[in-house]
Structure 1
Amino acid sequence: MTRRIVPVILAGGKGTRLWPLSRSAAPKQFMQLVGDNTLFQSTLLRVSDQNVYEPAVVVTNESFRFLVTEQARGIGVALSAIVLEPMPRNTAGAVAAATLVISHLFKEDRTIHVLASDHDIIIDESYREAHSIARLEAADGKLATFGITPTEPATGYGYIEVGEALASGAYRVRRFVEKPAFENALEMLSAGGFYWNSGIFMFSLSTVLDEIAEHAPEVLMAADLAVSRSVADHDHVLLDTDAFERCPGISFDYAIMEKTSRAVVVPSAFGWSDLGSWDAVWKTGRHDENHNVASAHTTLTDTRSSLIMTQGAHLAVHGLEGVAVIASEDAVYVGRLQDSQDVRKVVNLLAIAPETVRLTELRPTTCRPWGDCTTVLNGEHFQVRRITVRPGKRLSLQRHRHRCEHWIVIKGTAEVTIANRVQMLRENESVCVATGEEHRLVNPGNTVVELIEIQTGSYLGDEDLVGASDGVGRVD
């Protein structure tokens, strides 16, 4: 009997390339850009066939743990484990840690399929053929990477040059090429034998551990110590901070694939995009008769070949061509589509200014273990937030030193505890929590509870909280 493949989904990221919709605390894989699901959810569904795959192992930043959990729950996909990195250490450390966790979970050699969580991929016959070839090569002790057939001289991707042809249809890797200048990319496209580096891999557990031990022993040592000292909380595996901090911050390509003699590339003609720029999103999207891609709540006149997206105000665009206009709840980006790789320059400028750094870190809506929270309005000594609590969930028992809170229920029924007094709040009912009073909010019902929270006080920061754990390893 053929053992099922263990998928490893890499779900870290800094959230800079698709700003302002993506932020460091909400990178693009958790956004709905293409289709009805987020990119992360689409990746989970791609490896959800139980005849082929075990439940996935997800490697992500500790701060994304609830995004991962809730988005998997939202599509009904189970996970084998969520490996939490206390700080980013690039893909070599992530792959090493995931491989060691898989070794502990399954106690036997397995084929591992490593995928990025933020790619848009079309599943067709060419995808299935490439998958089969990679699986054969992995069983033969090779480290297979998927090389995407290039369709243009793209400068935003790395390239792989193929060497000797193998019987399976794969090729030995001759060399990896870093993101090239346009002239070099055009030359490689004309010469043939070059493929885009997708960052998708397949190999056996034993092979990859051997290769990491040989070519990046310091990565393996740090990952092994971080896993052995990890703290398990249900399906979460929190890597040890001190140990993982020692792991070199290098990519799996650089640490292993460029050095190993076992690397092979599988030519892959399926539709693929890493959606690494607004230009890539435009190319992937559904075009209207004027070659525009536009979201809801937009009005376009005399505008062509443009990307217009909003998650905030209604956008009206007139008389432009080849532009990206992107609006979040609190920021707007406007630029030429052809220059969309340069968005990170804007983000870097915003990040170094104290008055704008928050725009690169957080969106007004943040995911919490119990639901989500949206900042609607804030000013000196006041803040208004919209809070959603899912059925059966609760906030931690807590109190505040410097602020009071007014809660107004707009949907559902909430159970509110204030200083040991328990009461039920229904729609259009409200309550005030005084400064220093211990309080808790619970949704005891089967429908979502929504409320407006008005905070007033001398200090409204997240640090103004004294409380106990909410049952998921944090205070919130």
Structure 2
Amino acid sequence: MINNKILPVIMAGGAGSRLWPMSRTLYPKQFLELISNATMLQETVKRLDKLDHQAPLVICNEEHRFIVAEQLRKVNIDNSDIILEPVGRNTAPAIALAALNMLEKKQDPLLLVLAADHIIQDVDAFLSSIKHAVDEAEKGKLVTFGIIPSHPEIGYGYIKRGEKLGDETFVVDAFVEKPKLETAEKYVASGEYYWNSGMFLFKASRYISELKKYAPNILSSCEKSLNKSKKDLDFIRVDKKEFIDCPDDSIDYAVMEQTQDAVVVPMDAKWSDVGSWSSLWEISNKDENNNAIRGDVLAEDTSNSYIYSQNKLVATVGVDNLIVVETKDAILIADKDKVQSVKNIVERLKQENRYEYLQHREVFRPWGSYDEIAKGDRYLVEHVIVNPGEKTALQMHYHRAEHWVVVKGTAKVTYNDKTYFLTENESTYIPIGVAHSIENPGLIPLELIEVRSGAYLSEKDIVRIDDVSIGE
């Protein structure tokens, strides 16, 4: 078996509900540009540039597959495997799928398990910790990375170190749950506890052998679902029927708390899991008034606040310690000390069946995006972008007609059994019941205004004649 390289396994699932309204179920925080001009997934990949490794393997929810593929492509990663989970089953099964996939290929690499939604500001320290961990992982140890705490944090689990094994490596004495403040203060003062980062390094075969010992039901479900998987372009679709029966357990609970071979390597890399708006404020660059500001913002007599504007001018006067986040369809205003309760707003949106918990007003598709501009009783106006070389699925509607006006680029329109081209300032009309699609044959993005009219304007009124993409 080949065992001479590190394989990054990037877990890109999760909803990130505490970062609503930026993070939504169908476009969660790992796909957002929160700190730089790169998304959190892209930052996770880029920080591995100086490390000798194989192309990363990404595990994500099925509905996020095109977002992941496109974001990887934009950082020149187009040869990765992407394993699609039909349902979320926590980290232990996800990592099992990655390990089994590699063993099936007759490879037994060191799996470097990373979350796609973490921020690490000191990349050199991050890479140094990984290099310290390699020897122990190659000996068959299961290495976890413990973050040296900067303060008594009650939002993280902790790892207590035991006997020192070597240079910067310790036996894991215990994993402990999120503590109360008084306990957290004692942990930090002792110098023997680290934050549990959720990052790991171990051989694929070693993880599978421990999973077989301590969580055989997880291993069995993952083996069955992977054996019945289907390859679709860069995607590996595991079998839903088998995977849905898999226990929902974390790697900590299923393996790391059970094994006799857990090792912890300390890491001091300015790490954050960005679990809330307040934690994002803490790691963001701030002005002279201790404000972290992004977008079109005017802050007057404002201090200690995080203010984000996506679409409109946001002005604040005489406020302190606030989170203000504006998106195209929602505004959040919160006390910075109470942002953990943002998840309660998301739950209320779900209960009221409002779309704002699920997706943004601007929706991304494999072929481009569309953004709602105006809506009335019997009309809906959208700004549609089709990327170069892409096209929508051939489809028809029973309840609405559509007018398209091209404002930039060239469109190739399919209308029943004929095709024709539209250029800037030209338009076309698609009646009810007509099979149609639109394609961008050019080299620049195609932009058009779509006006829907009819009695029923929902996305559900789509009959796909082919299935090029998900969505319209």
TM-score, length basis structure 2 = 0.97
- Please state whether the residue corresponding to 2:220 is helix, strand or coil: helix
Q: Does 1:410 align with 2:411?
A: no
1:399/1:438 contact within 8 Å kept = yes
- The 2-side partners of 1:143 and 1:332 are apart by 44
Q: How does 1:72-471 map to 2 (within 5 A)?
A: 72-105=72-105, 107-354=106-353, 357-471=354-468
| Structure 2 gaps, min length 5 | none
1:160/1:175 contact within 8 Å kept = yes
- The 1-side partners of 2:116 and 2:41 are apart by 5
- The 1-side partners of 2:28 and 2:17 are apart by 8
- The 1-side partners of 2:456 and 2:403 are apart by 15
- 1:2 Cα deviation (Å)? 7.1
- 1:345 Cα deviation (Å)? 1.6
The letter for the 2-side match of 1:39 is: M
- The 1-side partners of 2:435 and 2:16 are apart by 36
1:407/1:432 contact within 8 Å kept = yes
- The 1-side partners of 2:414 and 2:379 are apart by 23
- 1:379 Cα deviation (Å)? 2.9
1:467/1:475 contact within 8 Å kept = no
- The 2-side partners of 1:79 and 1:48 are apart by 15
Deviations 1:326-380 (A, max 9, x none): 11111111111121122112211222123xx311111111211111111222232
- The 2-side partners of 1:91 and 1:382 are apart by 44
1:99/1:209 contact within 8 Å kept = yes
- Please state whether the residue corresponding to 1:17 is helix, strand or coil: helix
The letter for the 2-side match of 1:346 is: I
1:15/1:26 contact within 8 Å kept = no
The letter for the 2-side match of 1:185 is: A
Aligned to 2:19: 18
The letter for the 2-side match of 1:233 is: D
Distance change in 2, residues 1:475/1:291 (3 Å): closer
1:143/1:201 contact within 8 Å kept = yes
Deviations 1:362-416 (A, max 9, x none): 1111211111111222232221111111111111111111111111111101011
- The 1-side partners of 2:359 and 2:468 are apart by 24
Aligned to 2:53: 53
- Please state whether the residue corresponding to 1:437 is helix, strand or coil: coil
Deviations 1:194-230 (A, max 9, x none): 1000000000011001011111111111111111111
Aligned to 2:41: 40
- The 2-side partners of 1:71 and 1:444 are apart by 22
- Please state whether the residue corresponding to 2:117 is helix, strand or coil: coil
Deviations 1:81-104 (A, max 9, x none): 000011111111111111111222
- 1:429 Cα deviation (Å)? 1.1
The letter for the 2-side match of 1:101 is: N
How big is the alpha-carbon RMSD for the aligned residues of Structure 1 and Structure 2? 1.4
2:102/2:108 contact within 8 Å kept = no
The letter for the 2-side match of 1:66 is: F
- 1:419 Cα deviation (Å)? 1.8
1:296/1:310 contact within 8 Å kept = yes
TM-score, length basis structure 1 = 0.96
1:364/1:376 contact within 8 Å kept = no
1:48/1:77 contact within 8 Å kept = no
- 1:48 Cα deviation (Å)? 4.0
- The 1-side partners of 2:251 and 2:148 are apart by 21
- The 1-side partners of 2:49 and 2:246 are apart by 31
- The 2-side partners of 1:253 and 1:382 are apart by 51
2:121/2:270 contact within 8 Å kept = yes
2:159/2:172 contact within 8 Å kept = yes
- 1:475 Cα deviation (Å)? 5.8
- The 1-side partners of 2:282 and 2:313 are apart by 23
2:365/2:471 contact within 8 Å kept = no
The letter for the 1-side match of 2:372 is: T
Return 82-91 or 167-176, whichever deviates more: 167-176
- Please state whether the residue corresponding to 2:218 is helix, strand or coil: helix
Between the two proteins, what is the percent identity of the paired residues? 39
- 1:73 Cα deviation (Å)? 1.0
- The 2-side partners of 1:8 and 1:276 are apart by 21
